[in-house]
Amino acid sequence: MANHNNEIHSAHTQTKDSGDVSRKLPDYLFTIVFLLTLVLSCIAVLSERQHQINDAKRDVSITIRLLQDHISDLQHDEAWRPIFSKDKQHIINVMDHIRTELNCRLYIVDENSTLLFKDSLLGPFGSDNGQQLTLIPALRNAIESVIINGGTATYKESSGTHLISSLPLSPRATLIGDAQLPAWYTAFSYSFFITLIIGTIGAIVVRYVIQKNSRLWRRQSLAQSIIDPLTSLPNRRGFELLSKQVLSCPEQRSKGLYLVVANINNLHGMNTQYGLDAGDTLIRQVAASIRHYLPKEDILCRWSGDEFLALVRSRELNTIDTFCRNISSTINKQDFILSGERVPLSIKIADHKLSADEQLSSAIVKLIDKLRNTKHAV
């Protein structure tokens, strides 16, 4: 009986642990899918931001080439400043047009980063011709980088972040293209919101489906853990779970509760003679016969290979002895068919009335001992 209690406790613990996991699984998957959605949304934002930077680089490169085409044939000094005033005004008009149409300003600096030539508006940070741009702290690193290393660089102005690129015109002059990048929040484009919405809906759907299926799985798992597959009766654990509800009710205790155990005589010999399949058939038939005499509200289980245990609480039974005699008489008089042969069968039955405060485990021990001492069928 101690081993049996350990088995019950172990099975209960395993089922409880698996039940806890299955209950938490929908939340785990929801969290994973939602986090994956956030990651994909962030990737979409970063991708959009990179597209914005690439577009700005392309626009700056185009504007530099456009201005270079316009000034390449004009007469200019060593600093690439037009000599004739009409040419100077023409270049300013071109710069203004580029700034208006492509949102990109252009200016020429010398080897010391002094602003030599710009459009009709002020340069970066309100600078004017003749001002050394490297003296502006926020602009110094970016200007030095594109003049010395080429490529692109960025700086921050009050209006936002700017991207600049350069094109050497001569050893003393460098053409700078300057474009303002879109604000960072503009990177949160439709793709971000669509990904976030679809991902969130997907996470909710996944959670709902997994939660629904996990509830079904828990019910099936519980059913499999408490039902004997051969007879479809509760097994030991099922009997313990079902009987708890009855035993915990003082009203049921006061009306009287009985434990009844029935044992099939010589089942081992029949298994040996007729085979295990025939023995299984015999067990199912005996289970059906006992269940027939037992009211539906009472609990019957397959306690072991050849034993059945019942918790009887029905007021419809006149006496427990009458109930036991009816079952024993029916089975003892009935011929069971095994492998085409009529096989006589007998069972032993014992009963025990539970006292008001008696534990189920101790009552079962007493009942099994009583059955072992029963030599003949009731």
Average pLDDT for residues 72-98, to the nearest whole number?
Answer: 72
| Residue 132 or 256, more confident | 132
Q: Which pair of structure tokens corresponds to residue 3?
A: 């081993």
Instruction: Give the three-class secondary structure for 344.
Output: strand
| pLDDT at residue 307 in the model | 93
- pLDDT value of position 162: 93
What mean pLDDT is predicted for residues 334-363?
Answer: 83
Query: For the purposes of burial, counting CB atoms within 10 Å of the CB of 324, is it exposed (0-12), middle (13-18) or buried (19 or more)?
Result: buried
Phi, psi of 78 (to 5 degrees): -65, -25
**C-alpha distances out from residue 374 to 17, 89, 265, 325, 371, Å:** 41, 123, 11, 14, 5
Place of tokens 């001492």: 373
Count CA atoms within 13 Å of residue 299 on its CB side.
23
Q: What is the mean pLDDT of residues 326-339?
A: 79
**Angle subtended by helix axes 276-293 and 267-274, to nearest 10:** 140
Q: Looking at residues 25-33, what average pLDDT do you find?
A: 79
Same fold, 1-226 and 227-372: no
**If you average pLDDT over every residue of the chain, what do you get?**
81
Question: Is the pLDDT score of 24 beyond 60?
Answer: yes
- By percentage, how much of the chain surpasses pLDDT 90? 18
Residue bearing the bigger pLDDT, 113 or 207:
113
Residue 3 pLDDT = 45
- Distance, in Å, from the CA atom of 291 to the CA atom of 285, rounded to the nearest integer, reads 10
> Average of pLDDT values for 111-115?
89
**Per-residue pLDDT reduced to its tens digit, 227-252:** 898 998 999 988 988 888 888 887 77
- Take residue 325 and report the two structure tokens written for it: 């005699």
Q: Check whether 42 has a pLDDT greater than 70.
A: yes
pTM: 0.48
Between CA 149 and CA 135 the distance in angstroms is: 19
What percentage of the chain exceeds 70 in pLDDT? 86
Enumerate the domain spans of the chain. 1-226, 227-372
Under CATH, what is the fold of the domain 227-372?
A: Alpha-Beta Plaits (3.30.70)
Could you tell me if 233 and 301 are in contact, meaning their C-beta atoms sit under 8 angstroms apart?
Answer: yes
pLDDT, greater one: 330 or 302: 302
Per-residue pLDDT, 75:
63
- Tell whether the model's pLDDT for residue 85 goes beyond 90: no
The CATH classification number of 1-226 equals: 3.30.450.20
Highest-pLDDT range among 20-24, 82-86, 148-152: 148-152
Higher pLDDT residue, 309 or 15? 309
* Mean predicted confidence (pLDDT) in 327-347: 80
Query: What is the number of other CB atoms lying within 10 angstroms of the CB of residue 283?
Result: 22
